């Protein structure tokens, strides 16, 4: 049983009225399943994928699911066989933040129940863009799970990848909220945040996107921009979808696998 509350504080020595021990179901929902023996012995990387499922992304839902299941998962699976153990979390956001599975799971667990179109059509998705709230939430979740999964071992490397096609339009409205969450994580050598922007309509220009990312505390070498509205693709949805998949593979391989 875990000896910390959901804020990562020790319940046995704390003096601030911490919560009771979580049940196994509560712990699993927040942190994911316990590590197996192989995971305990190997270097670990914790990934959290935060994806914009607002209304403007709806024409790319099928492509997003395909990219996750056919590009991202196989890439991570290959790396996990030779380089490190992987735990993967996922947050889908629009007006609300919805997790397609509970906590941070092993790739084997996710492969048995991969992402589905139905996950992208849950209540709270398909509306506006709570970008900054979702980013802060994902960063905080990743920060909380790190010492829980590896309490006595070398801390894992944590990577948070944010994918969006629009500007934030729900509270909080300041990108400094994201910057503060990043700063709170501590050692930058153990934590990386990247953001990929797909311009699918009248969204941010590349300059506006980079300005927003900079104010959110995300380094310029971890910002990715793809314009799917240029003259070549403007009236060709099939070509836009093809380019979406191509850019997703480039961005995710660069950040997740360091290629």
| Per-residue model confidence as pLDDT tens digits over 36-71 | 777 778 888 999 999 999 999 999 999 999 999 999
Assess contact for 174 and 139: CB atoms under 8 A.
no
User: Could you tell me the two tokens for 102?
Assistant: 């509970």
Q: Report the pLDDT value the prediction gives residue 23, as an integer from 0 to 100.
A: 58
User: What value does the mean pLDDT take over residues 227-244?
Assistant: 88
Question: Is pLDDT at 230 greater than 90 in this prediction?
Answer: no
Q: How many CB atoms lie within 10 A of CB 184?
A: 12
The secondary structure element, H or E, covering residue 199 is: strand 191-199
Right CATH number for 46-256 from 3.30.70.360, 3.40.50.720, 3.40.50.410, 3.90.120.10?
A: 3.40.50.410
- This prediction's pTM: 0.86
Domain boundaries, the chain: 46-256
DSSP string, 143-186: HHHHHHHSSSSPPPEEEEEEEESS---SS---THHHHHHHHHT-
Question: Is pLDDT at 11 greater than 60 in this prediction?
Answer: no
Distance CA 6, CA 242 (A): 41
Orientation of helix 73-82 relative to helix 237-256, angle to 10°? 20
Question: Is pLDDT at 212 greater than 80 in this prediction?
Answer: yes
Assess contact for 136 and 177: CB atoms under 8 A.
yes
pLDDT grade for 204, boundaries at 50, 70 and 90: very high
């Amino acid at each position: 049983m875990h000896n910390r509350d959901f804020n990562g504080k020790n319940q046995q020595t704390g003096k601030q009225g911490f919560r009771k021990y979580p049940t196994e179901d509560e712990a699993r929902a927040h942190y994911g399943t316990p590590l197996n023996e192989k995971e305990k012995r190997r270097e670990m990387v914790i990934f959290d994928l935060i994806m914009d499922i607002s209304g403007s992304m709806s024409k790319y839902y099928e492509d997003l699911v395909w990219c996750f299941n056919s590009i991202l998962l196989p890439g991570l699976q290959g790396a996990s066989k030779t380089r490190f153990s992987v735990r993967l979390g996922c947050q889908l956001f629009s007006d609300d933040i919805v997790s397609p599975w509970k906590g941070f799971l092993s790739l084997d667990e996710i492969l048995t129940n991969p992402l589905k179109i139905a996950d992208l059509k849950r209540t709270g998705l398909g509306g506006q863009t709570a970008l900054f709230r979702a980013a802060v939430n994902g960063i905080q979740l990743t920060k909380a799970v790190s010492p829980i999964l590896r309490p006595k071992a070398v801390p894992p490397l944590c990577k948070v990848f944010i994918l969006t096609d629009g500007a934030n339009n729900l509270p909080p409205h300041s990108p400094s909220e994201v910057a503060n969450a990043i700063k709170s994580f501590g050692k930058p050598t153990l934590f990386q945040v990247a953001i990929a922007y797909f311009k699918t309509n009248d969204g941010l220009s590349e300059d506006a996107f980079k300005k927003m990312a900079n104010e959110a505390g995300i380094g310029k070498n971890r910002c990715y921009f793809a314009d799917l509205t240029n003259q070549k693709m403007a009236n060709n949805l099939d070509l836009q979808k093809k380019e979406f998949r191509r850019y997703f593979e480039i961005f995710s391989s660069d950040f997740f696998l360091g290629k």
